């Protein structure tokens, strides 16, 4: 027993083997408690209306904060003054924050994005000319998956100061096309041909009502604006199908889709 006591008391001041073992046990207990708390936080977040990315963000921040507290509690058992430790860590934190301003900016911006929710995971968005499906909103970056299967990492700070276009937030979306037709046909003839194509394309909504109107009188053709509405998830299906069906209708009705050309007239002397 004396040998064990000597081993446990070995050290200087409060920094003994026994106190170190107690600190380790306390830290392990804290780790178990932290795991339970984080589990509760995660389950609560999942049951709420928070996005999965927001839940993950909150859990990660909570984990860092709780482990920081656990370290302070454990250090107190080996004689390290808590006040001194906090002061040292505060100074170190200030120095570190000055050297990693961009990282902190991305971190704060990520938190703001999760709270304000201009988009959530699964939305199709456009940020500063880059578009894609939102995969994750992380500490430093927002990750997009492009339609051609490329992964784009955009710093959160850049996201927070950029214009954001969310294509899937609303249930309905308008498909806009510009179609050119020859001057040889009246606007009414072209309008009737285009209107017939609406009934041959699936997923076009009747309300709001589809629209066809003259847009511009060009050098070689008349341009028409074509506007129809559809469910947001059906946008590209309607876009491509309508483009194709308008051409089929023009061919059936004998309406020419002209292109830029120059007529040269030869004058005889």
Integer Cα distance of 234 and 231 in angstroms? 5
Lowest mean pLDDT among 4-8, 69-73, 199-203, 213-217: 4-8
Confidence of residue 165 (pLDDT cuts 50, 70, 90): very high
- pLDDT per residue over 118-150, tens digit each? 888 889 999 978 899 999 888 788 999 998 999
> Quick one: CA dihedral 206, 208, 213, 215, positive or negative?
negative
Categorize the per-residue pLDDT at 263 as very low, low, confident or very high, splitting at 50, 70 and 90. low
The pTM assigned to this predicted structure is 0.58
Structural domains of the chain sorted by starting position, each given as residue range(s) with its CATH number in brackets: 2-99 (1.10.287.1260), 119-166 (2.30.30.60), 172-253 (3.30.70.100)
Q: What is the pLDDT of residue 85?
A: 60
Question: pLDDT per residue over 40-89, tens digit each?
Answer: 888 887 776 666 666 777 777 788 888 888 887 777 777 666 666 666 66
Q: Which residue is listed with tokens 């939102």?
A: 134
DSSP per-residue codes, 97-144: HHHTHHHHHHHHHHHHHHHH-SS-TT-EEEETTEEEEEEEE-SSEEEE
Average pLDDT over residues 228-244: 93
CA atoms in the 13 A half-sphere facing the CB of 112? 12
> Sign (positive/negative) of CA torsion 229, 234, 240, 246?
negative
């Amino acid at each position: 027993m004396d040998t064990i006591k000597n081993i446990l008391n070995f050290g200087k001041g409060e920094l003994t083997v026994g106190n170190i073992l107690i600190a380790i046990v306390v830290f392990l207990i804290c780790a178990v408690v932290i795991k339970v708390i984080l589990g509760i936080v995660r389950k609560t977040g999942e049951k709420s209306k928070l996005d999965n990315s927001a839940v993950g963000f909150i859990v990660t921040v909570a984990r860092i904060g709780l482990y920081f507290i656990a370290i302070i509690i454990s250090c107190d058992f080996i004689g390290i003054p808590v006040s001194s430790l906090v002061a040292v860590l505060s100074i170190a934190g200030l120095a570190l924050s000055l050297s990693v301003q961009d990282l902190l900016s991305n971190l704060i911006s990520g938190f703001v994005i999760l709270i304000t929710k201009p988009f959530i995971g699964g939305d199709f968005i456009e940020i500063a000319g880059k578009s894609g499906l939102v995969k994750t909103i992380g500490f430093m970056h927002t990750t997009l998956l492009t339609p051609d299967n490329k992964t784009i990492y955009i710093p959160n700070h850049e996201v927070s100061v950029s214009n954001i276009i969310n294509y899937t937030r609303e249930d309905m979306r308008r498909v806009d096309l510009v179609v050119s037709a020859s001057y040889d046909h009246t606007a009414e003839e072209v309008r009737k041909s285009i209107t017939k194509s609406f009934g041959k394309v699936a997923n076009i909504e009747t309300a709001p009502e589809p629209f066809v109107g003259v847009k511009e009188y060009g050098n070689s053709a008349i341009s028409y604006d074509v506007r129809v509405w559809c469910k947001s998830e059906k946008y590209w299906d309607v876009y491509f199908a309508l483009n194709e069906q308008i051409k089929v209708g023009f061919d059936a009705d004998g309406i020419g889709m002209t292109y830029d050309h120059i007529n040269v007239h030869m004058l005889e002397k």
